[in-house]
Amino acid sequence: MQIKRGIVQEFSPATYTASVLLFEATSYFLTGVPVATMVDSTSGLVGALCAVLFFDEHNPQDAVVFAIFPNGSSGVPVPPPGRMVFVPGYQQLSAVSVVPGSPLTVVLTGGSSGLPAGALGVVYQVSFTSATAGSSLFLMPAGAINPAAYGSAGNLSAAYGSVSGNGVLPLDASGQISIQANGGTCSVTLYTYGYIA
């Protein structure tokens, strides 16, 4: 067995594999290297340093990435595995109209939101108003087949009233959710204030 240092070139949270450029082989990198499941999905940042364990030093494909760690001031893998991390509240949507039959898909990760690419879920707060009594919302990972299986808010007791709710919601692999209105057009405001790695 042998341990070598490398730099993460690519990380796939779907397959939990990485492409790694080894320090001593600056023109050669390994692809499809399994990543230990104790490494959370937000740690596989391009440019982060990693430790690669070779079970057979003569077979570069018989390896596993077992640690990812900071590369100076960039590529710092956070948070610790399996943690819920709270970030400053971020307004993702402000009074956006969602029409029944036309779900709205929103990317929540990246930018100023504090939610990193690779996050598995979000902590959210949603509120809405509608001119239609009985209106409600479903929140789900983008592409979900059963909207009722995830988050919901409503039934609006009276026209022009408001409803709010909060919870934890899974994201799709691209950091997206969909919001579906039911009953009537809803004016939706959405905040995020945490994520699950």
The CATH number given to whatever domain includes residue 7 is: 2.40.50.140
Nearest Cα neighbor of 185 from 104, 103, 100 is 100
Confidence of residue 81 (pLDDT cuts 50, 70, 90): low
* Structural domain containing residue 122: 84-196
41-62 b/e with 16+ CB inside 10 Å = b? bbbbbeebbbbbbbeeeeebee
Confidence of residue 93 (pLDDT cuts 50, 70, 90): very high
Report d(CA 47, CA 72) in Å as an integer: 10
- State residue 76's pLDDT score: 57
- State residue 107's pLDDT score: 97
Confidence of residue 28 (pLDDT cuts 50, 70, 90): confident
112: in domain: yes
CB-neighbour burial class of residue 82 (10 A; exposed 0-12, middle 13-18, buried 19+): exposed
35: in domain: yes
pTM, to two decimals: 0.64
Q: Are residues 46 and 94 in the same domain?
A: no
pLDDT at 43 over 90: no
Per the DSSP assignment, residues forming a β-bridge with 53 are 3, 64
Spacing of C-alpha 110 from chain mean position:
9
Report d(CA 73, CA 37) in Å as an integer: 25
Q: Note whether 132 and 183 are within 8 A (CB).
A: yes
Q: Which amino acid is at 69?
A: F
Q: What's the total number of domains in the chain?
A: 2
Mean pLDDT across the stretch 156-176? 94
